[in-house]
């Protein structure tokens, strides 16, 4: 066969295979794409008095949400947040003080706030320390707030969210995870446990709620400049900061923007930076993917991302080995 025909055949094969995969994915991806507006909707944000949650409340108000409700424990922080949002956007928001670990208090606040269209379970606490040293009460606190608190909030809001559909249009339950909810790192054991659980919750909930027009999103930020991070960094082990530093840190406003854009398109996995996109492809698993184009990228890059992940692990375990050796050396010097 002449070279020209061989090249043509090769070109056809190289074109036909990807195109046929693309077409198959166009038909295959479930659930289908959806548009969830923020304008004219009731957006309920837990942890909305600080950091990422406060940015979310500002942006939801600026986007024309008919109601923005924030929930947190500290009344003073809630009042400051409400004033800052009113000054910036003119929007009057509702604020409720409740601890997400207390289902009855959360239920009372959610019922008082009225039917929710977009629920953003953003609250969270984090303390980095190697698990053996970490006080078990601190570990339990993170699981109680980050995981159980999210179950409480969704349990409280879900009945009214479901009953008020479809007349109120598509609903969204967005859960603030972390890149530490996609990969476990030295010093983040209990925190990762509290965030990994949110993925199983989200995947199962999406299957249970799709028929009611309620769409689930999980957001996976890297280190984000917030008051919570300032506090965490005061005591975070050096090795944890080095590992976490492999994903570029972000501003709260940028994470909030990524979050709201992902919610509006019903995206299940919302990565926040390029490292997060690679992490999302490497950990895609059986999470829903509504975009056939992103599904195509996931299919094509799955193997490569696993290789990149193995390179990260090679680097991290060498780093951890060197870090322990350095610790032992400085301990020896100290003892001498
Ligand atoms: N900052 C970061 O580096 C990253 C953060 N995340 C996640 O983003 C979310 C927000 O974090 P960030 O903005 O940094 O945190 P902040 O500490 O700045 O804000 C946390 C918010 O949650 C509220 N909150 C904490 N505990 C409870 C509780 N028991 N009941 C009700 N509300 C509570 C706080 O209010 P109050 O204390 O008054 O209750 C506050 O409004 C968390 O889920 C966190 O895990 C994910 C990746 C990176
Ligand atoms: C396959 C390729 C992978 C590429 C990227 C891998 C980078 C992973 C870094 C993980 C960073 C974890 C940030 C946690 C932030 C957080 O939640 C804390 N502030 C709370 O302690």
Question: How do residues 144-172 score in pLDDT, each as one tens digit?
Answer: 999 999 999 999 999 999 999 999 999 99
Domain ranges across the chain: 34-291
The tokens for 172 are 């969204």
| pLDDT recorded at residue 58 | 98
| pLDDT recorded at residue 48 | 98
With beta carbons less than 8 A apart as the criterion, state whether 44 and 98 touch: no
Query: Is the predicted pLDDT of residue 121 greater than 90, yes or no?
Result: yes
| Among 110, 119, 112, 123, residue whose Cα is nearest residue 51 | 123
With beta carbons less than 8 A apart as the criterion, state whether 126 and 142 touch: yes
- From the CB of residue 287, how many other CB atoms can be counted at a distance below 10 Å? 16
| pLDDT recorded at residue 60 | 98
| Among 263, 271, 257, residue whose Cα is nearest residue 179 | 271
270-283 pLDDT, tens digit each = 999 999 999 999 99
Query: What band does 333 get if pLDDT is binned at 50, 70 and 90?
Result: confident
Q: 94: which residues sit within 8 A by CB, 6+ positions away?
A: 67, 68, 69, 70, 113
31-59 pLDDT, tens digit each = 998 999 999 999 999 999 999 999 999 99
Instruction: Considering every ligand atom shown, identify the ligand nearest to the alpha carbon of residue 99 and give its number.
Output: 1
Percent of the chain whose predicted confidence (pLDDT) is above 90: 94
- Please tell me the distance from the alpha carbon of residue 290 to that of residue 40, in angstroms, as a whole number: 24
b/e map 122-131, b = 16+ CB within 10 Å: bbbbbbbbee
| pLDDT recorded at residue 144 | 98
Q: 87: which residues sit within 8 A by CB, 6+ positions away?
A: none
- From the CB of residue 108, how many other CB atoms can be counted at a distance below 10 Å? 14
User: For the purposes of burial, counting CB atoms within 10 Å of the CB of 265, is it exposed (0-12), middle (13-18) or buried (19 or more)?
Assistant: middle
Q: Whose CA is nearest to atom 48 of ligand 1?
A: 223
Residue 128 CA: which ligand 2 atom is closest? 21
Convert 133-199 into a string of H (helix), E (strand) and C (coil): CCCHHHHHHHHHHHHHHHHHHHHHHHHHHHHCCCCCCCEEEEEECCHHHCCCCCCCHHHHHHHHHHH
Residue 182 CA: which ligand 2 atom is closest? 10
Cis peptide before 166 (omega within 30 of 0): yes
Phi and psi, residue 50, nearest 5°: -155, 155
Best residue among 202, 228, 255, 272 to mutate for probing ligand 1, ranked by most atoms within 8 Å of CB: 228
Residue 309 CA: which ligand 2 atom is closest? 1
Q: What does pTM read for this prediction?
A: 0.96
SS3 content of the chain, % helix, strand, coil (to 5): 60, 10, 30
| pLDDT recorded at residue 247 | 98
Query: Is the predicted pLDDT of residue 334 greater than 90, yes or no?
Result: no
* ipTM metric: 0.99
Cα-to-centroid distance, 130 and ligand 1 (Å): 21
**With a 6 A CB cut-off, is 271 part of the ligand 2 pocket?**
no
Query: Is the predicted pLDDT of residue 1 greater than 80, yes or no?
Result: no
| pLDDT recorded at residue 335 | 78
| pLDDT recorded at residue 285 | 97
182-235 pLDDT, tens digit each = 999 999 999 999 999 999 999 999 999 999 999 999 999 999 999 999 999 999
58-107 pLDDT, tens digit each = 999 999 999 999 999 999 999 999 999 999 999 989 999 999 999 999 99
- What CATH code is assigned to 34-291? 3.40.50.720
Residues with a known catalytic role: 177, 191, 195
| Among 57, 19, 63, residue whose Cα is nearest residue 39 | 63
């Amino acid at each position: 066969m002449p070279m020209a025909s061989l090249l043509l055949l090769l070109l056809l094969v190289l074109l036909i295979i990807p195109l046929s995969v693309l077409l198959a994915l166009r038909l295959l991806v479930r659930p289908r794409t959806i548009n969830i507006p923020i304008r004219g909707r009731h957006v309920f944000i837990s942890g909305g008095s600080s950091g990422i949650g406060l940015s979310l409340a500002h942006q939801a108000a600026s986007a024309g949400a008919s109601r923005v409700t924030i929930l947190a424990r500290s009344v003073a922080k809630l009042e400051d947040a409400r004033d800052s949002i009113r000054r910036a956007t003119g929007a009057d928001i509702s604020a409720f003080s409740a601890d997400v670990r207390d289902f009855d208090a959360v239920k009372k606040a959610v019922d008082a706030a009225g039917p929710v269209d977009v629920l953003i379970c953003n609250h969270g606490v984090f303390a980095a320390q190697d698990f053996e040293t970490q006080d078990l009460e601190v570990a339990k606190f993170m699981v109680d707030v980050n995981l159980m608190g999210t179950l409480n909030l969704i349990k409280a809001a879900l009945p009214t969210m479901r009953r008020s559909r479809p007349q109120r249009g598509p609903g969204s339950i967005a859960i603030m995870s972390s890149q530490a909810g996609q990969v476990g790192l030295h010093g983040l054991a209990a925190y990762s446990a509290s965030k990994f659980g949110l993925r199983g919750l989200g995947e199962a909930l999406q299957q249970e709620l799709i028929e009611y027009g309620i769409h689930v999103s999980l957001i996976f930020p890297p280190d984000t400049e917030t008051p919570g991070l300032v506090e965490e960094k005061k005591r975070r082990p050096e090795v944890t900061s080095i590992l976490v530093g492999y994903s570029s840190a972000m501003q709260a406003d940028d994470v909030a923007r990524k979050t709201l854009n992902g919610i509006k398109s019903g995206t299940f996995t919302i990565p926040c930076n390029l490292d997060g996109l690679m992490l999302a492809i490497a950990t895609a698993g059986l999470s829903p993917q509504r975009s056939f184009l992103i599904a195509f990228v996931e299919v094509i890059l799955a193997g490569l991302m696993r290789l990149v992940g193995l390179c990260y692990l090679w680097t991290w375990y060498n780093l951890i080995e060197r870090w322990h050796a350095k610790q032992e050396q400085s301990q020896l010097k100290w003892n001498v």
